[in-house]
A and B are shown apart, each in its own frame.
Chain A
Amino acid sequence: MFFEIKDLSIHYSTGGNTFKAVNHIDLSVEKGQTIGLVGETGAGKTSTALGIMNLVPNPPGRIVSGEILLEGKDILKMSKIETRRVRGNRISMIFQDPMTSLNPTITVGEQLSEVIRVHQKASKIEATLKAKEMLETVGISGDRYGEYPHQFSGGMKQRVVISMALACNPELLIADEPTTALDVTIQAQVLELMKKLKNDFDASMLMITHDLGVVAEICDSVAIMYAGEIIEFGSLEDIFDSPSHPYTVLLFGCVPDIDSDVKRLTPIEGLMPDPSRLPEGCHFYPRCPKRIPICAGEAPVNVEIGDGHKVKCFLFGKGAALN
């Protein structure tokens, strides 16, 4: 296995409260594969990403347990120098907001070539050439090397950010809502570009998003997160054709489908639980329309309901028999 997260838990503690942002998640990514990590605000997606980069702000955050294995080596146990080398060289991250990811007082080209110089020990001239090449790869003319971020449109800035993340040929790319801040037509451009790069560079990708449409577009497998847990995992077809966890099913009901008519959407009642006071048992049961008595008392475990399709819900496996 190329990249594996095992039993990762991240907690934040402030003022005597412990916020359990990520709770015992397991996830693995194969070479060249793109996994979508889907969830709503507060589901723990971004914490997971920061955990992978070993960038959880401490304090207040802390990785309580778990291993993050890159080709069998645990990132969390590496020395500072080693982690720094891994970050950028082997794993890169793209953040949500392209506007704040670039320094407004330095030209786009210089920022790009700096990244290259830091990570590849290239000379200044080599780095400049490589930077221009990278700009061309993401569809921006190399002549714009000397321009400042404000001279670029939002979509172009995000493409620059992507090219920075790709500049060192990372083996794993973590994209945290890379298109959320963009307009649809620009989003389409960026997604198209990411698909192309995924193929050209053969990089693995972890795509963090709340947008099921984006997932459908670009991912091979999907992990659905709720209250810090992965509650369903499967291939794109598994999740989109036969969503099984009640939360996943409801999530699809919340999105108006552009190609069909419904009179009313079916929202999920209630709110995401407070991560400092997670309900006992299944975290979703207070909002779940299909809950059964056992859900309140016991935490469900993963049940494999198809080839690689796993669900954390009592409606399947052991619980189904009880029902």
Chain B
Amino acid sequence: MSENPLPLEKENEVYSRKSWWGEVWGRLYLNKMAMAGLAILIILVLAAIFADAIAPFGYDDQNLNETFLRPSLSHLFGTDNFGRDIFSRILYGARISLTVGLFSVSISVVAGGLLGAVSAYYGHMTDNVIMRLVDVFLAIPGILLSISIASALGPGLMNMMIAVGIGSLPTYARVTRAAVLSIKEQEFIEAAVSVGASNFRVILRHILPNCLAPIIVQATLGVASAILVAASMSFIGLGLEPPTPEWGAMLSVGRPFIRDHWHIVTFPGIMIMFTIFALNVFGDGLRDALDPRLKR
């Protein structure tokens, strides 16, 4: 194509581009809600890391003379039925709850996503076998599934995370499969096959990056439910042993006292809510930022 003698655009100017992550960050940075979410998450993580330095009390320091104290300057969030400082327990609990939430969701996203992608991509028998298995798991409520896995594996943090992760795996498999099915029909997938790309490359490089949106949304919601499932498991004794602080467990332990001592359940509840809120807005922002089409 010969260039027009009176070009309106400067043909030699190369659009300068930052690196891929630089661009994603640039788009994310413009999203105020996402940045607020990120700020909350960073504060939570810092609080969890420096809990030893910040917390005024140990998480299992009981003081039976000071049970059920209302929030005050000495006990910011008050004390619980054993006289433990709720503020300190929340800080330590952040370590456990955040780990449980993020780790177990990672398990289900990676394993469920892979199963769903493979199932949708290969179709036919593979799809049938994997999806019928997933359906069987889906028929059992996630929490029951987690409980049965946890009781087989025994209590403990790691086992609990695995159990929670597997419990919600079927949902991710379903979500990913649906997304992959719609992307798979696009011509650029065929184009990739026609230039000799292996199945592995097609899935990893062409299909999955284009299905991120629903998976990210599901995952950010998933962190929240993972924290709650973990709490229920601790409650029935399949998760962590009592004095270990964990938001969900604190919530369920405080439940009998809700009528007279609101603060015992309120503060862990607020923390869970904040975490979920931050993850959700951050997840939404991330989803948009990862999509080069949604610029400006």
A binding-site residues for B, Cβ under 8 Å: 15, 269-270, 273, 279, 285-287, 291, 296
Interface centre among B1, B3, B8 (most CB of A within 10 A): B8
Contacts of B2 in A (CB 8 A): 269
Chain A, interface SS category: loop
A15–B6 contact, CB under 8 A? no
Contacts of B296 in A (CB 8 A): 15
Chain B, interface SS category: loop
CA distance A273 to B6 in the complex (A): 14
**B273-296 interface code vs A (CB 8 A; 1 in, 0 out):** 000000000000000000000001
CA distance A296 to B296 in the complex (A): 32
CA distance A287 to B4 in the complex (A): 7
B6–A291 contact, CB under 8 A? yes
CA distance A285 to B7 in the complex (A): 11
Q: Pick the contact of B4: A15, A270, A273, A296 (CB < 8 A).
A: A270
B4–A269 contact, CB under 8 A? yes
Closest 3 CB pairs of A and B: A286-B8, A270-B4, A269-B4
Contacts of A15 in B (CB 8 A): 296
CA distance A310 to B234 in the complex (A): 84
Q: Pick the contact of A279: B1, B3, B8 (CB < 8 A).
A: B8
B1–A269 contact, CB under 8 A? yes
A286–B6 contact, CB under 8 A? yes
CA distance A323 to B172 in the complex (A): 70
Contacts of A285 in B (CB 8 A): 6
Interface centre among A273, A286, A291 (most CB of B within 10 A): A286
**B1-22 interface code vs A (CB 8 A; 1 in, 0 out):** 1111011100000000000000
Contacts of A269 in B (CB 8 A): 1-4
CA distance A296 to B5 in the complex (A): 13
CA distance A287 to B1 in the complex (A): 13
CA distance A15 to B296 in the complex (A): 9
Contacts of B6 in A (CB 8 A): 285-286, 291, 296
> Across the two chains, which residue of chain A brings its CB closest to B2?
A269
Contacts of B3 in A (CB 8 A): 269
Contacts of B7 in A (CB 8 A): 286
Interface centre among A269, A285, A291 (most CB of B within 10 A): A269
CA distance A320 to B1 in the complex (A): 30
CA distance A286 to B6 in the complex (A): 6
User: Told that A15-B296, A279-B8 touch, could you supply 14 new A-B pairs with CB distance under 8 A?
Assistant: A269-B1, A269-B2, A269-B3, A269-B4, A270-B4, A273-B8, A285-B6, A286-B4, A286-B6, A286-B7, A286-B8, A287-B4, A291-B6, A296-B6
> Across the two chains, which residue of chain B brings its CB closest to A286?
B8
**How many Å from the CB of B8 to the closest CB on chain A?**
5
CA distance A279 to B3 in the complex (A): 18
**How many Å from the CB of B81 to the closest CB on chain A?**
56
Residues of chain B in range 1-45 having any CB-CB distance to chain A below 8 Å = 1-4, 6-8
CA distance A286 to B9 in the complex (A): 10
> Across the two chains, which residue of chain B brings its CB closest to A269?
B4
Contacts of A270 in B (CB 8 A): 4
A-B contact pairs, 16 of them (CB 8 A): A15-B296, A269-B1, A269-B2, A269-B3, A269-B4, A270-B4, A273-B8, A279-B8, A285-B6, A286-B4, A286-B6, A286-B7, A286-B8, A287-B4, A291-B6, A296-B6
Contacts of B8 in A (CB 8 A): 273, 279, 286
> Across the two chains, which residue of chain B brings its CB closest to A267?
B1
**How many Å from the CB of B20 to the closest CB on chain A?**
25
**How many Å from the CB of A48 to the closest CB on chain B?**
25
CA distance A15 to B30 in the complex (A): 15
CA distance A270 to B2 in the complex (A): 9
CA distance A16 to B276 in the complex (A): 35
CA distance A225 to B118 in the complex (A): 50
**B171-198 interface code vs A (CB 8 A; 1 in, 0 out):** 0000000000000000000000000000
CA distance A226 to B78 in the complex (A): 73
> Across the two chains, which residue of chain B brings its CB closest to A277?
B8
CA distance A286 to B7 in the complex (A): 7
> Across the two chains, which residue of chain B brings its CB closest to A15?
B296
> Across the two chains, which residue of chain B brings its CB closest to A273?
B8
**How many Å from the CB of A148 to the closest CB on chain B?**
25
Contacts of A296 in B (CB 8 A): 6
CA distance A286 to B4 in the complex (A): 8
**How many Å from the CB of B31 to the closest CB on chain A?**
15
Contacts of A273 in B (CB 8 A): 8
Contacts of A286 in B (CB 8 A): 4, 6-8
CA distance A273 to B8 in the complex (A): 10
CA distance A291 to B6 in the complex (A): 10
**How many Å from the CB of B275 to the closest CB on chain A?**
34
> Across the two chains, which residue of chain B brings its CB closest to A285?
B6
**How many Å from the CB of A187 to the closest CB on chain B?**
25
CA distance A270 to B5 in the complex (A): 11
